[in-house]
């Protein structure tokens, strides 16, 4: 065994996060580590990588018991972690080459002064080993997310890599970039590296991993070879119950009428000539790779991009929102993709966050918040969406990811929108809460809300949409309905495999 | 702990410190705890407190206003000059407009010109400080208007007018911050400006208005200073901006934005005022007074930042390790 942990326990204050976990990784093996938020994946990762010391149990490398006092100790034994927030480990203003060798012994590239030429040659070599063609002069901050991730992987490989832990590596990648990453992971496996792959996305897990280990409540709930397990078994082990219907899609589209109609909508450099309509109660999914214009289309509808041509009609009335406030008044709501940076005010209370976009409705003529009415409306919304919080007054940032996301939904439900634009509606949400969010979408459509949804989670897009429109290079490339809505079809149209 | 309780406990932290300082001084000096002296403290605190009230809005927005001292001096000089030829009311209106105008400029620089507030207000501080000296040629401008002098010198029910002004301002602006839609928008914008903008809040307008409030209260503070002394001193506001910022921070408002209130700020301002007063009573050298105040600021912020650790000392168990990342925190919370 390359790396193994035995009976590892770890508690923070009174809270025991790991309750005796065993895990083993062999050379040339990809082990997927899955589990809901709070199951202990991150803590286990941090034990393996020397950030946390276990309270009891032991960690072995090559069959030899080790004690890591800090991450440097773990790295010295060839264990590297690429965290979900890997960008924090890069220096955006330094070049690719400088980032790659920032931890290198200073004399590797010259005794006194660093020889840039040699360093950049080495960087080029390292990047082409990964099959990447990245200019080593390039400042890392200028690279795309996927390329930055590759730089981080190249950095890890430079250290006699034995075990690589990837924590949600595809969270910020589109489908094509994810494929490129999988190719790298497979290549590492061939080179005899042991890979621990942490992901919420079961399709990736089944496509990539040799074995799956499911953590739940700090113990291993299920472990086995990928070929011997079904998706349902894994999900059941994660949530601790069988999920009979993971995507509880309800068909609520009204037969006719149009809540949202776009005609020839154009935003130079982003998208062109987009015409579509969404009926009340209908969920229209927008497929496409990153940069296909799907995200900018939502932003434009919410008054965040300047439109160059075309018309927008909401319930038949022509609107041209110039700001989010105007869009909200026109009955448009926008569930933003990154709740931490663009969705919630983490320090403020759950109640304040939920009423924020609709505060005008609870304000007296003199600008005072009508607190009793506000509180009633917030409580109703929280009960309706099953937002679980000790109290509406606690900071929204202290809630679990799923409840934060439900609070974000609550904010937009409070504005009583005609059209709800949503981007990545279940990002960073655990499996159990995902289903609850799908139910929320069902309830909204049952009330006649029209939904235009962008999601990088293909199974979700396919399962929850009544209709899928695929965008490519800023234009609508295909419309898929009924049986024709498949992951395969969305991908093919998005990547121009068919035309 | 219940969040309301926790909020009170946080506020009490500054209040406890105030209480502790008062008890020590009451023991050390027989004069301290007399009503006359306590009114003196309130009177001396009023100017800093007004500046700090405006500064609180700005700091909750994760900005800073370094120009308040200069705005105070500038508007006081303009008001004093206006008083020579115009009525008291006109001069007051002119002075307030000057303060609000300076705040408007700061706000526009920060929002529309996208300048960091530290730089923008550092520049306006320098410009206004220089203009004040140019205008007055460096000399004090006498204020002989009797009605105007009353702003600083009159008493109502035995309490000096500046103290009344301070109390009314804190009630009024405290309500504005805690009870109105604008107040909510201030907190939301300070916590996460992007999320606020995407919730339909005109964040630029919120920020501009906060700077206007800060300028307006600086002008009001300027009236008190020049009315009390019967002169507008061109350097009257020098250094007061730092005193005001200190009061806000001691009061528990976070420089990172999104958190804080005016109750904390008034307590913070009173702590500084009490210490000033106490050191005068105890005959501490003015040079050392500055040293002591610096240490008090350090101590207050140290307490605020490390409250959890300190609380841990009083328990048998060691303090919990701080969460390493959001996800850690999430794990702890959800588990």
Domains and CATH numbers, chain A: 3-239 (3.40.50.300), 260-494 (3.40.50.300)
Task: Name which residue leads in pLDDT, A494 or B322.
Answer: A494
Residue A431 pLDDT exceeds 80: no
* Residue B183, in any domain of the structure: yes
Touching check for A46 and chain B: CB below 8 Å? yes
Residue environment code for A56-66, b if the CB has 16+ CB neighbours within 10 A, otherwise e:
ebebebeeeeb
- In which band, very low, low, confident or very high, does the pLDDT at A392 lie, cut at 50, 70 and 90? very high
Rounded mean pLDDT of B28-46? 93
Contacts of B315 (CB under 8 A, 6+ apart): none
- In which band, very low, low, confident or very high, does the pLDDT at A422 lie, cut at 50, 70 and 90? very high
- In which band, very low, low, confident or very high, does the pLDDT at B189 lie, cut at 50, 70 and 90? very high
Most confident of A114-118, B10-14, B278-282: B278-282
How many structural domains compose chain B? 1
CB pair distance less than 8 Å for B181 and A12:
no
Nearest residue of A to residue B258 by CA position?
A: A347
Among residues A133, A128, A121, A131, which one has the least CA distance to residue A97? A121
Task: Name which residue leads in pLDDT, B123 or A181.
Answer: B123
Choose among B179, B258, B335: nearest Cβ to A15.
Answer: B335
Predicted pLDDT at A480 = 95
Can you give the pTM of this predicted structure?
Answer: 0.79
CB pair distance less than 8 Å for B200 and A323:
yes
Query: Contacts of residue A388 in chain B, CB cutoff 8 Å?
Result: none
CB pair distance less than 8 Å for B332 and A43:
no
Predicted pLDDT at B234 = 92
Rounded mean pLDDT of A22-45? 88
Rounded mean pLDDT of A250-272? 92
Answer whether B226's CB lies under 8 Å from B29's CB. Answer: no
CA B82/CA B74 separation, integer angstroms = 12
Rounded mean pLDDT of B90-109? 98
Q: Does residue B155 sit in helix, strand or coil?
A: strand
CA angle A469, A470, A473 (to 5 degrees): 135
Answer whether A243's CB lies under 8 Å from A235's CB. Answer: yes
**Percentage of residues in chain B having pLDDT higher than 90:** 76
- In which band, very low, low, confident or very high, does the pLDDT at A314 lie, cut at 50, 70 and 90? very high
CA B260/CA B252 separation, integer angstroms = 6
Query: Contacts of residue B194 in chain A, CB cutoff 8 Å?
Result: 341-342
Residue B318 pLDDT exceeds 80: no
CB pair distance less than 8 Å for B331 and A43:
yes
Choose among B179, B184, B328: nearest Cβ to A359.
Answer: B184
User: Measured between alpha carbons, how far is residue A497 from residues A105, A234, A285, A291, A424 in Å?
Assistant: 47, 32, 20, 17, 24
Enter the tokens of residue A144. Answer: 């795309």
Q: Which residues 202-221 in chain A show a CB within 8 A of chain B?
A: 217-218
Residue A419 pLDDT exceeds 80: yes
CA A80/CA A76 separation, integer angstroms = 9
Domain that holds residue B107: 3-302
- Phi then psi for residue A476, to 5 deg, are -70, 125
Answer whether B147's CB lies under 8 Å from B90's CB. Answer: no
Most confident of A35-39, A101-105, B93-97: B93-97
Among residues A257, A281, A206, A243, which one has the least CA distance to residue A441? A281
Nearest residue of B to residue A15 by CA position?
A: B332
Touching check for B181 and chain A: CB below 8 Å? yes
Enter the tokens of residue B112. Answer: 């529309």
Task: Name which residue leads in pLDDT, A15 or A139.
Answer: A139
CB pair distance less than 8 Å for B327 and A347:
no
* Residue B331, in any domain of the structure: no
* Residue B320, in any domain of the structure: no
Residue B335 pLDDT exceeds 50: no
Predicted pLDDT at A104 = 67
Whether ipTM > 0.90 holds is: no
Predicted pLDDT at B12 = 66
Contacts of B115 (CB under 8 A, 6+ apart): B109
DSSP B156: E
Choose among B180, B187, B201: nearest Cβ to A348.
Answer: B187
Burial class (CB in 10 A: 0-12, 13-18, 19+), B298: exposed
- In which band, very low, low, confident or very high, does the pLDDT at A114 lie, cut at 50, 70 and 90? confident
Rounded mean pLDDT of A272-301? 93
CB pair distance less than 8 Å for B179 and A369:
yes
Predicted pLDDT at B325 = 41
Predicted pLDDT at B27 = 94
Nearest residue of B to residue A359 by CA position?
A: B181
Q: Check residue B149 and give left, alpha or beta (phi > 0: left; psi -120 to 50: alpha).
A: alpha
Predicted pLDDT at B8 = 62
Predicted pLDDT at B10 = 59
Enter the tokens of residue A11. Answer: 């508690």
Enter the tokens of residue A301. Answer: 């509808």
Share the mean pLDDT of chain B. Answer: 89
CA B121/CA B245 separation, integer angstroms = 13
Q: Taking CB atoms and an 8 Å cut-off, how many pairs form between chains A and B?
A: 120
Task: Name which residue leads in pLDDT, B57 or A249.
Answer: B57
- Phi then psi for residue A467, to 5 deg, are -150, 145
- In which band, very low, low, confident or very high, does the pLDDT at A109 lie, cut at 50, 70 and 90? confident
Predicted pLDDT at B139 = 94
**Percentage of residues in chain A having pLDDT higher than 70:** 96
How does pLDDT run across A189-213, given as a tens digit for each residue? Answer: 998 999 999 987 888 899 999 999 9
Give which of A52, A240, A348 to mutate to test B binding, by max B Cβ within 10 Å.
A348
Most confident of B138-152, B211-225, B227-241: B211-225
* Residue B184, in any domain of the structure: yes
How does pLDDT run across A432-460, given as a tens digit for each residue? Answer: 788 899 999 999 999 999 999 999 888 88
* Residue B332, in any domain of the structure: no
Residue B322 pLDDT exceeds 60: no
Beta carbons within 10 angstroms of residue A114's beta carbon? 17
Task: Name which residue leads in pLDDT, A114 or B77.
Answer: B77
**Among the ranges given (A157-161, A166-170, A406-410), the one the predictor scored with the smallest mean pLDDT:** A157-161
Predicted pLDDT at B52 = 98
Predicted pLDDT at B254 = 86
Q: How far is B308 from chain A (nearest CA, A)?
A: 13
**Percentage of residues in chain A having pLDDT higher than 90:** 52
Residue A289 pLDDT exceeds 70: yes
User: Measured between alpha carbons, how far is residue B117 from residues A38, B70, B121, B207 in Å?
Assistant: 40, 15, 6, 11
**Among the ranges given (A132-136, A215-219, A413-417, B193-197), the one the predictor scored with the smallest mean pLDDT:** A132-136
Nearest residue of A to residue B185 by CA position?
A: A356
Q: How far is A275 from chain B (nearest CA, A)?
A: 25
Task: Name which residue leads in pLDDT, B82 or A498.
Answer: B82
Q: Tell me the β-bridge partners of A453.
A: A285, A422
Touching check for B192 and chain A: CB below 8 Å? yes
- In which band, very low, low, confident or very high, does the pLDDT at A236 lie, cut at 50, 70 and 90? confident
Predicted pLDDT at A203 = 84
* Residue B166, in any domain of the structure: yes
Contacts of A82 (CB under 8 A, 6+ apart): A149, A152, A153, A156, A164, A165, A166, A167, A169
Answer whether A207's CB lies under 8 Å from A182's CB. Answer: yes
Predicted pLDDT at A106 = 59
CA B40/CA A452 separation, integer angstroms = 64
Answer whether A337's CB lies under 8 Å from A295's CB. Answer: yes
How does pLDDT run across B175-186, given as a tens digit for each residue? Answer: 999 999 999 999
Residue B100 pLDDT exceeds 90: yes
CATH number for B157: 1.10.3470
User: Measured between alpha carbons, how far is residue B291 from residues A15, A54, A179, B285 in Å?
Assistant: 44, 46, 62, 10
For B187-245, give the DSSP string: HHHHH-HHHHHTTT--HHHHHHHHHHHHHHHHHHHHHHHHHHHTEE-TTTTTTHHHHHH
Query: Contacts of residue A401 in chain B, CB cutoff 8 Å?
Result: 330
CB pair distance less than 8 Å for B197 and A324:
yes
CA angle B19, B22, B27 (to 5 degrees): 130
């Amino acid at each position: 065994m390359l790396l193994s942990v035995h009976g590892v326990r770890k508690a923070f204050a009174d809270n025991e996060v790991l309750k005796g976990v065993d895990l083993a990784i062999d050379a040339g093996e990809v082990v997927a580590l899955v589990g809901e938020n709070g199951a202990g994946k991150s803590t286990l990762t941090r034990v393996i990588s020397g950030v946390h010391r276990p309270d009891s149990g032991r960690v072995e490398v090559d069959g030899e018991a080790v004690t890591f006092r800090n991450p440097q100790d773990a790295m010295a034994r060839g264990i590297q972690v690429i965290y979900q927030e890997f960008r924090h480990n890069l220096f955006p203003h330094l070049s690719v080459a400088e980032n790659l060798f920032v931890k290198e012994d200073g004399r590797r590239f010259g005794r006194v002064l660093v020889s840039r030429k040699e360093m950049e040659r080495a960087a080029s070599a390292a990047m082409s080993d990964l099959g990447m063609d990245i200019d080593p002069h390039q400042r890392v901050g200028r690279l795309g997310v996927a390329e930055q991730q590759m730089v981080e992987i190249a950095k890890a490989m430079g250290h006699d890599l034995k075990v690589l832990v990837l924590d949600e590596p595809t969270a910020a990648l589109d489908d094509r970039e994810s494929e490129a990453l999988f190719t790298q992971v497979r290549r590492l496996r061939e080179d005899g590296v042991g890979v621990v792959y942490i992901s919420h996305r079961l399709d990736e897990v089944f496509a990539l991993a040799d074995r799956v280990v499911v953590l739940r409540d700090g113990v291993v709930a299920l472990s086995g070879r990928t070929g011997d397990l079904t998706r349902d078994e894994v999900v059941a082990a994660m949530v601790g119950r069988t999920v009979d219907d993971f995507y509880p899609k309800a068909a609520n589209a009204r037969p006719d009428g149009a809540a949202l109609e776009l005609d020839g909508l154009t935003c130079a450099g982003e998208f062109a000539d987009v015409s579509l309509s969404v009926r009340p109660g209908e969920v229209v999914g927008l497929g496409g790779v990153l940069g296909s214009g799907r995200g900018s289309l939502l932003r434009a509808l919410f008054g965040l991009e300047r439109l160059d041509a075309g018309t927008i009609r909401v319930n038949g009335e022509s609107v041209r929102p110039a700001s989010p406030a105007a869009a909200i008044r026109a009955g448009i709501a926008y569930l933003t993709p990154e709740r931490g940076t663009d969705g919630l005010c983490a320090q403020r209370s759950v109640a304040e966050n939920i009423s924020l976009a609709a505060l005008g409705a609870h304000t007296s003529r003199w600008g005072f918040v009508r607190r009793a009415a506000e509180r009633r409306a917030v409580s109703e919304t929280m009960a309706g969406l099953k937002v679980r919080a000790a109290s509406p007054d606690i900071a929204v940032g202290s809630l679990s990811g799923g409840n934060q996301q439900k609070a974000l939904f609550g904010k937009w439900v409070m504005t009583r929108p005609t059209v709800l634009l949503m981007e990545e509606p279940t990002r960073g949400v655990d499996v159990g809460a995902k289903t609850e969010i799908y139910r929320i979408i069902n309830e909204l459509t049952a009330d006649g809300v029209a939904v235009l949804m962008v999601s990088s989670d293909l199974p979700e897009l396919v399962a929850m949409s009544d209709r899928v429109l695929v965008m490519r290079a800023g234009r609508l490339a295909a419309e898929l309905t009924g049986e024709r809505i498949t992951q395969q079809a969305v991908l093919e149209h998005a990547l121009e495999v068919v035309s | 702990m219940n969040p309301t309780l926790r909020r009170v406990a946080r506020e009490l932290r500054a209040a406890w410190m105030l209480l502790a300082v008062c008890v020590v001084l009451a023991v050390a000096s027989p004069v301290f705890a007399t009503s006359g002296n306590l009114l003196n403290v309130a009177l001396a605190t009023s100017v800093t407190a007004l500046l700090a009230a405006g500064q609180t809005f700005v700091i909750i927005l994760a900005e800073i206003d370094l120009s308040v001292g200069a705005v105070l001096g500038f508007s006081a000089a303009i008001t004093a000059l206006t008083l020579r030829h115009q009525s008291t009311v006109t001069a007051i209106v002119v002075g307030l407009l000057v303060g609000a105008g300076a705040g408007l400029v700061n706000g526009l620089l920060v929002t529309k010109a996208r300048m960091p507030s530290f730089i923008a207000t550092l520049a306006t501080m320098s410009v206004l400080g220089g203009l004040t000296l140019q205008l007055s040629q460096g000399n004090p401008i006498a204020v002989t208007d009797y009605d105007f002098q009353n702003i600083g010198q009159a008493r109502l029910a035995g309490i000096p007018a500046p103290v009344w002004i301070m109390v009314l301002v804190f009630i009024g602006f405290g309500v504005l911050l805690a009870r109105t839609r604008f107040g909510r928008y201030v907190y939301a914008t300070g916590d996460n400006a992007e999320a606020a903008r995407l919730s339909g809040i005109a964040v630029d307008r919120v920020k501009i208005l906060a700077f206007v409030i800060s300028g307006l209260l600086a002008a009001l503070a300027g009236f008190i200073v020049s009315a009390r002394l019967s002169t507008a001193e061109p350097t009257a506001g020098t250094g007061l901006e730092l005193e005001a910022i200190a009061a806000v921070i001691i009061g528990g408002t976070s420089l990172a934005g999104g958190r804080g209130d005016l109750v904390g700020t008034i307590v913070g301002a009173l702590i500084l005022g009490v210490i000033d007063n106490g050191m005068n009573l105890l005959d501490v050298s003015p040079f050392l007074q500055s040293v002591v105040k610096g240490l008090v600021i350090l101590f207050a912020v140290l307490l605020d930042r490390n409250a959890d650790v300190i609380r841990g000392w009083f328990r048998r168990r060691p303090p919990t390790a701080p969460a390493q990342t959001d996800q850690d925190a999430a794990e702890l919370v959800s588990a």
